[in-house]
Structure 1
Amino acid sequence: MTIVSSAPWTRALAIASIATAAVALSGCSILEQFTGGGNATRDDSGEVVEGNDNTDVFTLQVGDCLNDATASETVETIPTVPCAEPHDSEIYASIILEGDTFPGSEAVIAEADAACLEAFPGFAGIEYADSQYYYSYYFPTEGSWAGGDREILCTIYDEAGQVTGSLENIGR
């Protein structure tokens, strides 16, 4: 998966070039055995109760809080923490893309940008243009698509620093 940021400055998150996306590792469904990725500990409701510095990106879900400020381009693992602890971002939406053939990085990015922007007010309780928060997203690469990855994960974050607690219905 690859991540991009909606902020005019990208807090160390860079959009992967089409060339990078095209040569990204394929078979990402089996990446855990090569990357040392793991799972955060979750309670019965699915909420993270014990984080993991190397959480496999394919185990992330809506509501997870991440320490991903230094993530860039293609990622395989991301640090997760309980949302009550200081964190960089929170996953607020999951969008599943359709199709068997990879539509190209530009098309995936356009879909991710539009879908995450549309989902933002439903989560944050305020229109994106009026919010002090930014959104970003993880999206499939050509290689991860070949392994079955179709998920875009939208994240909300505060450019000024770490957040404690959920940003759901924050209204600012």
Structure 2
Amino acid sequence: MYEPQGPGTPIAQPYGYAYPPGPPPQRPKTSGLAIAALVLGLAGCLLLPLLPAFILGIMALSQTGPGKQQGRGLAIGGLAAAAFWTIGWIALAKNTMGDLDRHTASPPSASCATPPAGHANICTLKPGDCLQQPMAAVTSVELAVCESPHTTEVFGAFTAADGPWPSGGEMKAEALEHCQRIAAKNVDLPRLNAEGVYTTLGYLKPEREPWEGGVRTIFCTIYSPDSQLTGSALVPGADLSIPTG
């Protein structure tokens, strides 16, 4: 039943009504530095963005968090990505330097023990040395005075292809190809033939231990089994570099 309201009776306000209505709450902005740090960190495969990613990521950490701008997770993600790529670049640099060391003309010192007096090994031998030794892979060779009769003279060197240690005659074809080329310009073959000196081409390769240590230098030799070599068999101005030619 309707009951009229008398004069002076207050009118009830509806529940849930706020007067006057307030503005909607502002959502914190996402840090631009955090976004930039994440983008640069993910682009760390290009190397150059790594340093800016670390700098912006650290700056973003200071301006994000509770009561501050949003994006702390983005900043952490950018730093993590930059750290990941940094580790990858360091590993790549170490592998690259290792490859350079394995192919350098100067063999690793760990594989280069000092030979006995009057001897040389694969690490100390050099083109122009005269020897008293057989044609084989050896630990050390006996040096000789070139003016005296000797069996062998080193006339050049080349760097062998990388791979497992070549036991037996596995190196022969590669050695003959390089040594014949070097002999054609370094060895005075017409003089030896005119003097009736019997010679054959040979080579000296590293033993297993220095080979596995990274030594790849192969020395080309001219060999006279009856010690018919007297004086140097090299032409004047021969190229004695390592590798030769």
Whether the TM-score (by the shorter chain) exceeds 0.5 is yes
> Normalising by structure 2, what TM-score?
0.42
Identity over the aligned pairs, expressed in percent? 25
Looking at structure 1, the residues matched to 130 and 154 of structure 2 have their Cα atoms a distance apart, in angstroms, of: 6
Which one is further off, 157-166 or 76-85?
A: 157-166
In the alignment, structure 2 segments of 5+ residues that lack a partner are 1-107, 237-245
Letter in 2 for 1:145: W
Is the CA contact 2:138–2:206 (under 8 Å) kept in the aligned structure 1? Answer: no
Cα RMSD over matched residues? 3.0
Is the CA contact 1:31–1:76 (under 8 Å) kept in the aligned structure 2? Answer: no
Instruction: After TM superposition, list the pairs within 5 Å mapping 1:38-77 onto structure 2.
Output: 38=116, 52=118, 54-68=119-133, 71=134, 73-77=136-140
- In structure 2, the CA distance between the partners of 1:79 and 1:169, relative to structure 1 (3 Å rule), is same
In the alignment, structure 1 segments of 5+ residues that lack a partner are 1-26, 40-51
The CA deviation at 1:123 is: 1.7
Bigger CA radius of gyration = 2
Is the CA contact 2:111–2:209 (under 8 Å) kept in the aligned structure 1? Answer: no
**Corresponding residue for residue 57 of structure 2:** none
Instruction: After TM superposition, list the pairs within 5 Å mapping 1:1-172 onto structure 2.
Output: 29-30=110-111, 32=113, 37-38=115-116, 52=118, 54-68=119-133, 71=134, 73-99=136-162, 101-102=163-164, 104-105=166-167, 107-126=170-189, 132-169=198-235
Is the CA contact 2:135–2:223 (under 8 Å) kept in the aligned structure 1? Answer: no
- Structure with the bigger RCO (C-alpha within 8 Å, sep 6+) is 1
- In structure 2, the CA distance between the partners of 1:73 and 1:161, relative to structure 1 (3 Å rule), is closer
The CA deviation at 1:109 is: 2.7
